[in-house]
Structure 1
Amino acid sequence: MHSTQTKSNDSLKEMVITQDPVWLLNHCDECLSLDNSPKPFLNDEQLDIVSLVLISFIQLFNIIGLVGNILSIAVFIKLGFSEPSHISLLSLAASDLACVVLSIWTNLCFIPAFRDLRLPFHAINITTLTGAGLWSFIVRTVAWITAFISFERCLCILAPLKVKRYITPKTTFTAMLLIAALTICPSFLIYIRWHFVWMFYPHLNATILDVIPIDNKYYILLATIVKYICGVLQPLLAFAIVVLCTFFLIVQLRKVSSWRKSVTSGEHRWGQNSEEKPTPNAPGRNTISQKEERLVRLVVVIATVFIVCFTPTSLQLLFSSLFEGFFYFGFYRRIYFVVQLITFLGEAVSGAMNILIYYNMSSKYRFTLRRLIGLENQEQKSKI
Structure 2
Amino acid sequence: MYVHSTDEDNTTCYPAMDQMTDNPFHQWEDHSEVSSVLTLASGILTDEQFNIIFLFMIYTSQIITNCAIITNSLVIAVFVKLGFSEPSNISLTALAICDFTLAVLITWNNLCNWLTYHNVRLPFHSANVTALTGGAQWAFLSSTVAWITAFISFERCLCILVPLKVRILITPRGTFVAIIFIIIVTFCPSFFIYIRYKFVWEFNPYLNITILNTIPVNSEFAILFEKIYTVIFGVIMPLLAFSIVLICTLLLVVQLRKISSWRMSVTSAKSQCVQPEENPAASSEARISQKEERLVRMVVAIAAIFIMSYVPTCILLVCDIVFDEFNQFGVYRRLSIVAGYIISLGQPISGSVNILIYYKMASKFRSVFRRLVRVDRHEQERHELE
Shorter-chain TM-score range: 0.7 to 0.9
Residues of 2 paired with 1:219 and 1:48: CA distance?
34
The residue number in structure 2 matching 1:278 is 276
- Normalised TM-score (structure 1): 0.87
Aligned residue in 1 for 2:87 = 84
Match of 1:249 in 2: 252
User: How far does residue 182 in structure 1 lie from its aligned partner after superposition?
Assistant: 0.5
Deviates more, 1:144-153 or 1:352-361: 352-361
For 1:127-166, list aligned pairs within 5 A: 127-166=130-169
Q: Alignment identity in percent?
A: 50
Task: Please say if residues 22 and 212 of structure 1, whose CA atoms lie closer than 8 Å, have aligned partners that are also in contact.
Answer: no
How far the C-alpha of 1:72 sits from its partner, in A, is 0.6
Deviations for 1:168-192, whole angstroms, at most 9, x for unmatched residues?
A: 0000000010000001222312212
The Cα of 1:201 is off from its aligned counterpart by 3.9
**Contact between 2:270 and 2:276, CA under 8 Å: does it hold in 1?**
yes
Q: Distance in 1 between matches of 2:318 and 2:144?
A: 18
Q: Is the 8 A contact 1:187 1:227 kept in 2?
A: no
1:175-223, Cα deviation, whole Å (9 max, x unpaired):
0100000012223122122111122345555432111111111111111
**Contact 1:122/1:210 (CA < 8 Å) preserved in 2?**
yes
Name the counterpart of 2:67. 64
The one-letter amino acid paired with 1:95 is: C
Contact 1:109–1:115 at 8 Å: present in 2 too? no
Cα deviations by residue, 1:52-88 (Å, 9 ceiling, x for unpaired): 2222221111111101111111111111111000000
Letter of the 1:358 partner, please give it.
Answer: Y
Evaluate the alpha carbon distance shift between residue 86 and residue 211 of structure 1 in structure 2; reply closer, same or farther with a 3 A threshold: same
Q: Match of 1:179? A: 182
Matched, 1:321 2:317: no
Distance, in Å, in 2 between the alignment partners of 1:253 and 1:24 is 59
The yes-or-no answer on 1:358 pairing with 2:358 is yes
Check conservation: 1:143, 1:238, Cα contact below 8 A: yes
* Alignment partners' CA distance in 1, 2:231 and 2:279: 51
State the alpha-carbon separation in 1 of the partners of residues 164 and 275 from structure 2. Answer: 28
**CA distance in structure 1 between the aligned counterparts of 2:135 and 2:381, rounded to whole angstroms:** 47
Are 1:219 and 2:218 an aligned pair? no
Return 5+ residue gaps in structure 2 as ranges. Answer: 1-5, 15-27
Structure-1 separation of matches of 2:158 and 2:136: 34
Q: Deviations over 1:229-282 (max 9, x none)?
A: 1111111100110011111111112222223333344445x2xxx2x1538x76
Aligned equivalents of 2:90 and 2:296: distance in 1? Answer: 16
Runs of 5+ unmatched residues, structure 1: 1-18
Normalising by structure 2, we get a TM-score of 0.86
What number of residue pairs does the alignment pair up? 358
Partner amino acid, structure 1, of 2:323: F
Would you say the 8 A contact 1:51–1:338 is kept in 2?
Answer: yes
Does structure 2 retain, via aligned residues, the 8 Å contact 1:65–1:351? yes
Q: Deviations over 1:109-162 (max 9, x none)?
A: 233754632111111111101111111121111110000000111111111222
> Contact between 2:40 and 2:333, CA under 8 Å: does it hold in 1?
no
Structure 1 contact 126–211 (Cα < 8 Å) conserved: yes
1:305 aligned to 2:268? Answer: no
1:210 to 209, 213, 219: 213
Residue matched to 2:25:
none
Give the secondary structure class of the aligned counterpart of 1:161.
Answer: coil
Q: Which of 96, 99, 105 is matched with 2:99 structurally? A: 96
Q: CA deviation at 1:92?
A: 0.4
Residues in 1 aligned to 2:29 and 2:353: alpha-carbon distance in whole angstroms: 37
| Residue 204 to residue 108, structure 1, CA distance change in 2 (3 Å) | same
Deviation at 1:101, TM superposition (A): 0.4
Structure 1 letter corresponding to 2:218: D
Does residue 53 (structure 1) correspond to residue 56 (structure 2)? The answer is: yes
Considering only aligned residues, what root-mean-square deviation do their CA atoms show, in Å?
2.2
Q: Secondary structure at the match of 2:102?
A: helix
CA distance in 2, matches of 1:250, 1:119: 51
Contact persistence 1:62–1:103 (CA under 8 A): yes
Tell me the secondary structure at the aligned position of residue 199 of structure 2.
strand
Tell me the distance in 1 between the aligned counterparts of 2:233 and 2:12.
24
Give the counterpart letter for 2:236 in structure 1: L
Matches of 1:204 and 1:326, distance apart in 2: 34
**Aligned mates of 1:151, 1:24 — CA distance in 2:** 48
The answer (yes or no) to whether the contact 1:92–1:142 under 8 Å persists in 2 is: yes
- In structure 2, what residue type is equivalent to 1:147? A
Distance 1:169 1:215 in 2: 45
Tell me: CA distance 1:203–1:312, structure 2 relative to 1, closer, same or farther (3 Å): farther
Contact 1:327 1:336 in 2 (8 A): yes
- Of Structure 1 and Structure 2, the greater helix share is in 1
